[in-house]
């Protein structure tokens, strides 16, 4: 079992040994003992009114108590014992204030379900497919349903704050945490992650939006300095956050570890005060990532509202030191009020006062219903990348199937790190396969107990034989004697480390080549954290991308292979042909470069993230953003576009299922100014997933957000649409455009916030 992941924090931090018994005992004693009641208890009043009423009766100590969070797991390197009151082996806890009826904040990771920090007996819960997988559904309703489900499990597990909502763009395909996020496009990622947040918060709990911002790689994440141009940042990473914020209205935003243009993200006035709170009007609170607070007055004045996860920071900056800073005027009393008010407001707005925590009620979780939610998500997330000769779905004539590798006989892979959900259905230690992957964080490698093999066996009469794939020759021999060979290829990624390259690890490329050499009907099923290269692509018949498909992922994969489910996932991220196509051949900021302040320069690609970069550079990726095949065929027609009086563009088109099977199509709308001048040749402007029965057609109407037709003008502090002709396109990926129309837009200036 792993030790705590934060061992990965700086070595300096590890050297310090503290004994810290928990929250200052004096806090409780300072506060008047008698319970106080007041109008803040009236749920009919607005969150703002309740907050200001409550703030008036709070002591300084009580306000300070709200802005300081503790880790809720024993942490040996710092001789730290879990804070009393917090749920076992969980991410964090902020004690409540009984006399005022202020509930504790009980925090759990993360975006695919209720996670457990290092523990020999983790809580076992339903896991959704990875965040990237949910983005591959291109289905906001699916994202909402998944969020609602994991939020329910969080609440029943004793939590009212879920550290979910990761929306960092896939700027670096090797980023070890891409699986937690929503891909490379700000509109798709922001919409999907925003809906997941909304779903989580429908359970009267707070979700975060994280990691704000530009935390797009794990290498040197605790101190790397990201250089970014303001306008380019607003048109890329920040736009993803902005859309997620508007869509999901999270109670909290978690600032990230890295620096941005010199200042740590958690003491970055531009990011926190200017962009997030002023321009976007964020009314909730900013919490720091675990170990991302570096100061008292600079952080508080730059907009950090709550220090999290003590003792991961070097000091309890937001405890006595903050008290002192207020006393001596380095932080104003009004600012401390604002910090406390933002936390309280988020708690009121999300029903935390009206829905008290009640310890661990996990016995009441409806795992059967939740398995259906995660399975539906996985089924829509699976992307059929290649299907030569319609080898899939598996024909009735297939009598023998070789299943090779990936532990497909017992389960499916998940991603590692603080977001790790130990799966419901596993043995008490959470591991159906012991001793896989690193022993320590972000390990171990956790497999969800959902066997693709067993599920497929239930759907076919064919004889299935499994071999683990460690011996490529033996695998090839089995494949040669089978009608179809299915290789389950895995790419395990995790927090705190980036992939060294985009190749499948452990000689799996060679395994696939050997199998494909022995059987032309070779199907590769990928279980991956993010993009991988496929040096064997032209040798295999089919490729199915299942991502990390969650606790019912095996069933989902089997149903797609057998044709019970018609695949409808589309890539939320392009797969480059090789690392040579990336803006950076190697991940920047490796500590080995001995630079005192490792940095990464995002002005290199600017806002041209992912497909925008490839297209701008004339590079052809292996698979483009938006790509995804189906067992049926679709056609788009009647594309039309009309300007919406400064409010974007209205687009309509008709989608038709031209094949013989029911299926789901995604209307993808791309936009570009005819005169050029953007960061890239085109942007995704709008999308919609539509279910169509065989032969059915449906007209779809979509709106392109005006920000996606504009560029950000830093000097004017506004978005500007340049008057002229714009091309509106639809297609089956950003590369495969099937129809275009032109719309004329007048010059327009849009305010910096939501349209």
Q: Is the dihedral of CA 511, 516, 517, 518 positive or negative?
A: positive
Beta-strand pair 383-387/542-545: antiparallel
Nearer to ligand BGC, 196 or 558 (CB): 196
Q: Choose among 475, 647, 632, 620: nearest CA to 566.
A: 632
Who's near 347: CB < 8 A, 6+ residues apart? 102, 103, 105, 206, 251, 353
CB nearer to ligand BGC: give 110 or 421. Answer: 110
Strands (E), 422-556: 422-423, 447-448, 463-467, 484-491, 522-528, 542-545
Locate tokens 């709550």: which residue?
A: 306
- Please report whether residue 106 would count as binding ligand BGC according to CB under 6 A: no
Q: Minimal distance in Å, beta carbon 218 to ligand BGC?
A: 9
Touching ligand BGC, residues 260-289 (CB under 6 A):
289
In the complex with ligand BGC, the residue whose CB is nearer, 109 or 380, is: 109
Scan residues 52-91 and list those touching ligand BGC (CB under 6 A). Answer: 91
Q: Which is nearer to ligand BGC, 182 or 309 (CB)?
A: 309
> Please, what is the minimum distance in Å from the beta carbon of residue 12 to ligand BGC?
17
289 assigned to active site:
yes
The tokens describing 487, both together, are 């290789």
Q: Which is nearer to ligand BGC, 159 or 290 (CB)?
A: 290
Nearer residue to ligand BGC within complex by CB, 165 or 648: 165
Quick check: 109 binds ligand BGC (CB under 6 A)? yes
In whole angstroms, the minimum distance from the beta carbon of 328 to ligand BGC comes to 32
Q: Least Å distance between CB 4 and ligand BGC? A: 9
Q: How far is the CB of 290 from ligand BGC (least distance, A)?
A: 4
Q: Which is nearer to ligand BGC, 10 or 388 (CB)?
A: 10
- Half-sphere exposure for 329 (CA within 13 Å, toward CB): 0
Cross-strand pairs, 107: 92, 161
Nearest to ligand BGC of 195, 256 (CB atom): 256
Q: How far is the CB of 697 from ligand BGC (least distance, A)?
A: 44
294-323: contacts with ligand BGC (CB under 6 A): 309
Strand partners, 131: none
Nearest to 307 by CA among 290, 323, 331, 282: 290
The reply to whether 163 sits near ligand BGC by the rule CB under 6 A is yes
Residues 6+ away with beta carbon under 8 Å from 541? 386, 387, 388, 389, 391, 520, 521, 522, 523
**CB 675 to ligand BGC: min, Å:** 42
CB-CB contact of 330 with 320 (8 Å): no
Q: Is 197 in the site for ligand BGC (CB under 6 A)?
A: no
Tokens at 612, concatenated: 């925008």
Cα-Cα-Cα-Cα dihedral of 690, 693, 697, 700, to 10°?
-10
What whole-number distance in Å separates Cα of residue 310 and Cα of residue 293?
10
Q: Judge whether 487 and 509 are in contact, CB under 8 Å.
A: no
Taking the complex as a whole, the smallest distance from the CB of residue 441 to ligand BGC amounts, in Å, to 9
What is the rounded distance in angstroms from the CA atom of residue 671 to the CA atom of residue 649?
Answer: 10
Check binding of 216 to ligand BGC (CB under 6 A): no
Q: Spot the catalytic one: 152, 237, 289, 545.
A: 289
Helices vs. strands in the chain: H and E counts, helices first = 19, 32
Q: How many CA atoms lie within 13 A of 361 on its CB side?
A: 15
Q: Which of 70, 93, 280, 290 binds ligand BGC (CB under 6 A)?
A: 290
Q: Long-range contacts: 45-52, Cβ < 8 Å, 24+?
A: 47/345, 47/348, 47/349, 48/345, 50/344, 50/348, 50/353, 51/341, 51/344, 51/345, 51/348, 52/341
Q: Does residue 153 belong to the site contacting ligand BGC (CB under 6 A)?
A: no
CB of 87 to ligand BGC, least distance (A): 13
| 418 lines the binding site for ligand BGC (CB under 6 A) | yes
Which value, in Å, is the radius of gyration of the alpha carbons in the chain? 25
Q: How many residues bind ligand BGC (CB under 6 A)?
A: 10
Instruction: Considering the complex, state which of residue 163 and residue 391 has its C-beta at the smaller distance from ligand BGC.
Output: 163
**Interface with ligand BGC by CB under 6 A: which residues?**
6, 91, 109-110, 163, 210, 289-290, 309, 418
Give catalytic residues, as residue numbers.
289
């Amino acid at each position: 079992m792993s030790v705590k992941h934060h061992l990965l924090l700086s070595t300096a931090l590890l050297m310090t040994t503290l004994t810290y018994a928990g929250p200052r005992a004096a806090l409780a004693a300072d506060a008047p003992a008698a319970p106080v009641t007041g109008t803040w208890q009236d749920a009919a009043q607005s969150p703002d009114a309740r907050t200001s009423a409550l703030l008036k009766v709070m002591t300084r100590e009580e306000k300070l108590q709200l802005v300081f969070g503790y880790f809720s797991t024993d942490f040996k390197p710092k001789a730290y014992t879990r804070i009393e009151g917090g749920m076992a082996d969980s991410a964090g806890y902020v004690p409540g204030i009984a006399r005022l009826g202020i509930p504790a904040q009980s925090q759990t990771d993360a975006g695919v379900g209720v996670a457990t920090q290092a523990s020999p007996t983790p809580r076992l819960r339903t896991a959704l497919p990875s965040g990237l997988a949910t983005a591959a559904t291109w289905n906001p309703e699916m994202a909402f349903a998944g969020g609602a489900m994991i939020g329910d499990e969080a609440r029943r597990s004793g939590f009212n704050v879920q550290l979910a909502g990761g929306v960092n763009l896939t700027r670096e395909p090797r980023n070890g945490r891409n699986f937690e996020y929503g891909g490379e496009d700000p509109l798709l990622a922001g919409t999907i992650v925003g809906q997941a947040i909304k779903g989580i918060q429908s359970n009267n709990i707070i979700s975060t939006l994280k990691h704000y911002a530009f935390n797009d790689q794990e290498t040197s994440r605790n101190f790397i300095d990201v250089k970014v141009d303001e306008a380019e940042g607003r048109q890329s990473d920040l736009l993803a956050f902005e859309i997620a914020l508007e869509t999901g209205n999270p109670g909290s935003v978690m600032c990230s570890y890295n620096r941005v243009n010199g200042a740590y993200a958690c003491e970055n006035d531009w990011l926190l005060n200017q962009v997030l709170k002023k321009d976007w009007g964020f009314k909730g609170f900013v919490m720091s990532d675990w170990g991302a607070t570096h100061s008292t007055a600079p952080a508080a004045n730059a907009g950090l509202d709550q220090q999290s996860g003590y003792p991961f920071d070097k000091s309890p900056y937001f405890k006595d030191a903050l008290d002192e800073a207020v006393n001596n005027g380095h932080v104003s009393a009004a600012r401390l009020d604002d910090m406390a008010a933002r936390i309280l407001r988020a708690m009121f707005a999300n029903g935390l006062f009206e829905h008290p925590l009640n310890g661990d009620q996990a016995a009441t979780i409806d795992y059967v219903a939740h398995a259906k939610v995660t399975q539906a998500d996985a089924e829509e997330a699976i992307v059929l990348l290649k299907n030569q000769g319609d080898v899939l779905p598996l024909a009735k004539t297939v009598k023998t199937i070789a299943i090779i590798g990936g532990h497909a006989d017992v389960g499916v892979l998940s991603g590692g790190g603080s977001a790790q959900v130990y799966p419901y259905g596993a043995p008490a230690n959470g591991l159906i396969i012991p001793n896989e992957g690193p022993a320590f964080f972000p390990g171990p490698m956790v497999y969800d107990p959902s066997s693709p093999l067993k599920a497929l066996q239930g759907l076919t009469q064919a004889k299935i034989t499994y071999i683990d794939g460690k011996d490529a020759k033996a695998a090839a021999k089995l494949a040669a004697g089978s009608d179809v060979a299915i290789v389950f290829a895995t790419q395990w990624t995790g927090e705190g480390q980036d992939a060294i390259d985009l190749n499948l690890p452990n000689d799996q490329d060679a395994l696939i080549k050997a199998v494909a050499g022995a059987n032309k009907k070779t199907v590769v099923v990928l279980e991956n954290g993010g993009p991988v290269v496929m040096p064997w692509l032209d040798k295999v018949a089919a490729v199915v991308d299942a991502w990390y498909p969650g606790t019912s992922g095996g069933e989902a994969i089997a149903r797609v292979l057998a044709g019970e489910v018609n695949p409808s996932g589309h890539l939320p991220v392009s797969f480059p042909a090789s690392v040579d196509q990336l803006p950076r051949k190697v991940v920047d900021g490796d500590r080995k470069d001995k630079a005192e302040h490792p940095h990464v320069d995002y002005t290199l690609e600017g806002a041209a993230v992912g497909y925008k970069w490839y297209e701008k550079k004339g590079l052809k990726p292996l698979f483009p953003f938006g790509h995804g095949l189906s067992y049926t065929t679709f056609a788009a027609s009647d594309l039309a576009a009309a300007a919406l009086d400064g409010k974007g563009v209205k687009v309509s088109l008709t989608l038709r299922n031209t094949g013989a099977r029911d299926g789901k199509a995604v209307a993808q709308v791309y936009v570009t100014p005819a005169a050029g001048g953007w960061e890239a040749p085109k942007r995704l402007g709008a999308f919609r997933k539509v279910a169509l029965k065989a032969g059915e057609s449906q007209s779809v109407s979509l709106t392109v957000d005006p920000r996606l037709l504009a560029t950000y003008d830093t000097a004017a502090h506004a978005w500007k649409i340049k008057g002229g002709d714009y091309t509106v396109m639809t297609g089956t990926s950003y590369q495969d455009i099937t129809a275009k129309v032109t719309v004329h837009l007048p010059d327009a200036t849009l305010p910096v916030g939501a349209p």
